[in-house]
Amino acid sequence: MHNTPSSDRSSQRARRSPPLRDRVSAHFLPIGFGTILVMVAVVMLFMNEGRAVRTAESLDEANSVVKALSSADVVAHENQAKLVHVTTGLFTNEPLIDKEFGISIHACKLNRVVEMYQWVEHSHISETKTGNEVREETSYTYDETWSKELIPSSSFNSPFTHENPETMEYESKSFVSNLIHVGSFQLAPGLVNKISDFRRFPLTLSPPDDKLRLISDMYYKGRDSKHPAIGDIRIYFEVAGRSGKQANGEEVHDLVSIIAKQLDDKFLPYQTDAGAEIELLYEGEHSVSSMLGREQVSNIFLTWVVRFGGWLLMFIGFGCMTSILNTLVLRLPLIREAVGLSTAVMTAALAVSLSLVVIAMGWIRYRPLLGLFIIVFSLVPFLFAKLRGSTGLRSYQNANMYRNYFD
């Protein structure tokens, strides 16, 4: 990507700081919004724990019942409706064809990627307070970038000096094979969706349009690909799951490892007793333990990401509810800092404790002792907050005592 020096523009406006009564009234909406955030977080955390437990138990169940196949060339009826594992190559009967550009390849997926060089606008708002006035300044910067989507420049702050084309001559397009096999078995759509290891398709044919030039592995419209101008277009192709004869005449069948249910001559999702479906496809050669182990790691990672997201929503929600306290004490300079700190600690404690309670409720059904332990542990943040609050109160009392003494 080639970036030219960005252009800066800014605008300013001033507003008067509202009185205390108006600022207190303005907190009614945040309180309602905070309540909604907390409710969403509770539902999200509860559902996440149930999903995490079901997934973990389903993967353990899969590990105990899966049968490894030595080959996918023969449909063994004794494996009917059972969970099986196999590593083999991909096959497609017909090539994928992009008629507009004359591209033909045996692969599971083919992407035509069209990008245009365009302006993109960035805005930044800064505030400065002078007396009772708060001055807002919005600055705008512009960069040049390759984008797969049209970027409308009519909404820019400076549309005349940073103008993008309104149309794109060519469009991106995706092609997916209708029938994909591994040996004698057909892949279900869910397994096909997991084929995602895209690589550049080497272009050798001249472009079908005189406006385009073949440069390396792409078609290019513009004067100089090393120094692109606004409106230049580049087109390249990506393939995933090579499954037959390639452009150079070589037979290539990318390996995939599959864990799924064998039903007749198809690989379909396997429903576990724990409640989750097992339908795995990894590109390359992978053992059962490797695939299920990686799924367990992914499950743990997702669980903690959602837990953190739920806690963050609760923290923001409780922050919206308690922010009115900060507004009320803003007129009391001596305790402003202490109360502000205790409010933040209280908000964090509420968010952590309620998050732990919800997580515990999700586990009680499956592991009651663990759930009860988490509920007991949820009291720790409150004890910590109380300790911090007592420390803050003593600091305030000491400061007040010294102030009275010197006065």
Render pLDDT for 280-322 as a digit per residue (tens, 0 to 9): 999 999 999 999 999 999 999 999 999 999 999 988 888 887 7
In whole numbers, what is the pLDDT of the chain averaged over residues? 84
- In degrees, to the nearest 5, what angle opens at C-alpha 300 toward C-alphas 296 and 301? 115
250 by DSSP, 3-state: which? coil
Q: Which pLDDT score is estimated for 22? A: 53
Average the pLDDT over each of 187-201, 228-242, 387-401 and give the range with the smallest value.
387-401
Q: Which pLDDT score is estimated for 352? A: 81
Q: Give the distance from CA 407 to its chain's centroid.
A: 59
Contacts 24+ apart (CB under 8 A), 184-189: 184/72, 184/73, 184/74, 184/75, 184/265, 185/72, 185/75, 185/262, 185/265, 185/266, 185/267, 186/265, 186/266, 186/267, 187/258, 187/266, 187/267, 187/281, 188/260, 188/266, 188/267, 188/268, 188/269, 188/279
Q: In which band, very low, low, confident or very high, does the pLDDT at 404 lie, cut at 50, 70 and 90?
A: very low
**Confidence check: pLDDT of 278 > 60:** yes
Q: In which band, very low, low, confident or very high, does the pLDDT at 406 lie, cut at 50, 70 and 90?
A: very low
Q: Which pLDDT score is estimated for 385? A: 55
**Confidence check: pLDDT of 397 > 50:** no
**Contacts (Cβ under 8 Å, ≥6 apart) of 119:** 142, 143, 144, 151, 153, 156, 162, 163, 164, 230
Q: In which band, very low, low, confident or very high, does the pLDDT at 324 lie, cut at 50, 70 and 90?
A: low
Nearest to 162 by CA among 221, 103, 122: 122
Top pLDDT among 93 and 260 is at 260
Q: In the predicted model, what is the mean pLDDT of residues 212-232?
A: 95
Q: In the predicted model, what is the mean pLDDT of residues 234-260?
A: 92
Q: Which pLDDT score is estimated for 360? A: 83
Q: What is the pLDDT of residues 30-54, one digit of tens each?
A: 778 888 999 999 999 999 998 999 9
**Confidence check: pLDDT of 248 > 50:** yes
Say whether pTM exceeds 0.85: no
Q: What is the pLDDT of residues 64-78, one digit of tens each?
A: 999 999 999 999 999
**Confidence check: pLDDT of 344 > 60:** yes
Top pLDDT among 352 and 284 is at 284
- What is the distance between the alpha carbons of residues 86 and 281, in angstroms, rounded to a whole number? 10
**Amino acid (1-letter code) at residue 135:** R
Q: In which band, very low, low, confident or very high, does the pLDDT at 354 lie, cut at 50, 70 and 90?
A: confident
Q: In the predicted model, what is the mean pLDDT of residues 128-146?
A: 85
**Confidence check: pLDDT of 365 > 90:** no
